[in-house]
Amino acid sequence: MSDLAPRSGPMNLWIVVPAYNEAAMLPATLAALLCQTDQDFSLIVVDNGSHDQTPIIAKQFASTASFPVTVLTEHGKGVGAAVDTGFRHAIATGATHIARTDADCLPRTDWIAEIRRAFGGDAELVCGHLVARSDENGAIARIMFRVMVIAAAYFGRLRPANRGPEYLVPYQMHAGNNMAITADLYVRCGGMPRLPSPTDRTFLNRVRRTTGRIEHRRTMVSENSTRRIRAYGLLGTARWYLDRGPGRRSPDPR
């Protein structure tokens, strides 16, 4: 049996958090995971070659957390490489299901429980609901974030690259920082492209060519940072999420 052959049996859920220079934001994300009502999971933090205290913070957390924590280092540049390394390590270690959030996101306390409920049906990929973090944003910023998400989803459905007979279900926007997938589907679809961000649309289209068993779950919430909107502006952020790149801006909005 291959090291990446998915295991059957009871759910063995792993969470992957890619992180690059996230010393300021990572502690809140880890604290949110520590507050989950369902603690039956293992965590992997994948440090993507940080130059700050990110790996130290992750390792300190691992020594005291109430669930198993693994800290990996991925020097291949880009969130895609970090995510893929984390997912494949989880599968090789026995994961049957893997979820992802990012080091600047805040999973709500029932996030894990909602993932587990979603996989109680026939879903192979579960996409969570996108909302802005309330601790770093006022009402206007949260509304701007919601407008951006709706606009990106609309244009994504119209984009020719997202349409065609090879796709088993219509396109719906999803964010990689709030998703969960079966290990079996991750292997079958080829996994996350090992590229710099944004990689979410490419990954979703790989999934859509492989299965139609995709669920969008509004009750599965990991709150997003809006620092990209603050750095890029609304139009620049929309350009980014439509895979048009950062323009003249840095791909890192921090």
C-alpha closest to that of 175 among 144, 220, 134, 143? 220
More confident residue, 174 or 168: 168
In the chain the beta strands, taken as DSSP E runs, fall at 13-19, 42-47, 69-73, 97-101, 106-107, 125-129, 178-182, 214-223
3-state secondary structure (DSSP) of residue 170: coil
Q: Residue 254's pLDDT band (boundaries 50, 70, 90)?
A: very low
The answer to whether 217 and 127 are in contact (CB under 8 A) is yes
Residue 244 has pLDDT above 60, yes or no: no
Fold of 13-130+174-224: Spore Coat Polysaccharide Biosynthesis Protein SpsA; Chain A (3.90.550)
Give mean pLDDT, residues 156-181.
Answer: 90
Give mean pLDDT, residues 115-136.
Answer: 92
Residue 216 has pLDDT above 80, yes or no: yes
Residue 205 has pLDDT above 90, yes or no: yes
Joined together, the tokens standing for residue 237 give: 């952020």
Task: Return mean pLDDT, the chain.
Answer: 88
* Domain parsing of the chain, residue ranges: 13-130+174-224
Radius of gyration of the chain (CA): 17
- The pLDDT value given to residue 161: 85
Q: Pairing state of beta strands 42-47 and 69-73?
A: parallel
Residue 237 has pLDDT above 80, yes or no: no
Is the peptide bond between 55 and the residue preceding it cis, with omega within 30 degrees of 0? no
- The pLDDT value given to residue 96: 98
The answer to whether 196 and 80 are in contact (CB under 8 A) is yes
Regarding pTM above 0.85, the answer is: yes
Residue 159 has pLDDT above 60, yes or no: yes
Read out DSSP for 23-68?
TTTHHHHHHHHHT-S----EEEEEE-S-SSSHHHHHHHHHTT-SS-
> What number of residues does the chain have?
254
Q: Residue 240's pLDDT band (boundaries 50, 70, 90)?
A: low
Q: Residue 5's pLDDT band (boundaries 50, 70, 90)?
A: low
- The pLDDT value given to residue 2: 46
